[in-house]
Amino acid sequence: MQIAITPTLALDDAELSFTYILASGPGGQNVNKVATAAQLRFDAANSPSLPERVRTRLLTLAGSRATRDGVIVITARNYRTQQQNREDATQRLAELIRQAAHKQAYRVPTRPSKGARQRRLDGKSRRSSIKQGRSKKFDD
């Protein structure tokens, strides 16, 4: 099964591996006996689904969630069922990959025009003369 990330990018469900661990938080005694927290592992470094540009940016964005081997680990423990935590972890990974796939706009550096520079200097001198007019001048 494919997980759609962007219109041109999709992940194969087989690339994700889940393990379930005991979760803390609400749930009473159930929390101590049922492993409901989902831990998702995604090998981003060796994923055939990701282009190289997206892969490098993804590992940078993942930060401490990525291991040295390029495996991204996401732990979801917000919900009380395994299924909801599994879906939460998958959605969080998809959002992270969407951020990595987003191509940033190239900024063309520009300079202020000659007229803009002149208007700036005129405004500064006008302001300076206003402030100088406020000072007291004593003539002896």
Give the CATH number of the domain where residue 96 resides: 3.30.160.20
Q: What domain range is 80 assigned to? A: 2-101
Mean pLDDT per 10-residue interval, the chain, length 140 residues: 80 84 70 79 85 86 85 86 88 89 88 96 96 79
110 falls within a domain: no
Q: What is the pLDDT of residues 72-91, one digit of tens each?
A: 898 888 888 888 988 999 99
115 falls within a domain: no
- b (16+ CB within 10 A) / e for 40-79: bbbebbebebbeeebbebbbeebeebbeeebbbebbbbeb
124 falls within a domain: no
30 falls within a domain: yes
| Residue 3 CB neighbour total at 10 angstroms | 17
The total number of structural domains in the chain stands at 1
Cα 108 to Cα 105, 111, 139, distances in angstroms: 9, 10, 55
119 falls within a domain: no
Q: What is the pLDDT of residues 96-105, one digit of tens each?
A: 888 888 888 8
Strand partners, 99: none
Q: Looking at the whole model, is its pTM more than 0.85?
A: no
Distance CA(3)–CA(128), nearest Å, equals 63
